[in-house]
Amino acid sequence: MITLFENYDLMSEYVASSVAELITENPKCKLGLPTGDTPIGMYKNLVQFDLDWSKVKTFNLDEYVGIGESHPQSYHTYMNKNLFLHVNLKDSNKRFPDTEFDKDIKKMGGLDLIVLGIGHNGHVAFNEPGSSPTSSTRRVKLSKETIDANSRFFSDIDEVPKWAHTMGMKTIRESKKIIVIANGSDKWNILDKCFNGGLSKQRPASILQTHPNIEVLYAS
Ligand code: PGA
């Protein structure tokens, strides 16, 4: 079930092509989009395609609580830098988790594709271990493991936000298609446990095993 890529560039090109294909086939598609290190290559490739993003709607998976949108480490800043500044996506079509998020996604007929990274503890978006498979978009406390992992982006671990808003497992599971991406040998263990092992709330990504249209990609 896990597709292996020879290297990160090949995986990034593949995911970018999948997203580009969807936008070409369905210019009004709704995309769930990730942040973090892993998707950077996907965005780099994606912005090279000559695509019309004017009717596309994007729904980011998560955002920190407690730092402003313009903070250098906010996911708003990340998205501006890696995607939004390079494509003709409308401001009103760029969404981050808020109180209307799930209702609006449902009204629009659900997401067509979600691209997801995976944390070392098996989290997807900021659905930390123990998250309910039926959880909705909500405010969550970040686990110590996530705070430690994300401290590499901040000058001091005390600056890492302790809370975030995340898309819930229910909305992720309801997406028509899911692509999970993982890069580097340090991610293999958790990826293997989540997608070749049993289902467990303690490893939220494992719940996605039962999705009818999921691709799990790994680059070593
Ligand atoms: P990463 O994060 O791509 O920066 O490794 C993935 C995640 O924690 O979801």
Residue 1, pLDDT score: 86
Question: Which of 75, 118, 126 to probe ligand 1 with, by most ligand atoms within 8 A of CB?
Answer: 118
- Give the distance, in angstroms, between the CA of residue 2 and the centroid of all CA atoms in the same chain: 18
- The H or E element containing residue 186 is none
Q: Ligand 1 within 6 A of 116 CB?
A: no
pLDDT tens per residue across span 120-175: 999 999 999 999 999 999 999 999 999 999 999 999 999 999 999 999 999 999 99
Q: State the pTM of this model.
A: 0.97
pLDDT tens per residue across span 184-205: 999 999 999 999 999 999 999 9
- What's the CA-to-centroid distance between 150 and ligand 1, angstroms? 8
- What's the CA-to-centroid distance between 35 and ligand 1, angstroms? 7
Q: How far apart are the first and last CA of the chain?
A: 16
Residue 11, pLDDT score: 98
Q: Ligand 1 within 6 A of 119 CB?
A: yes
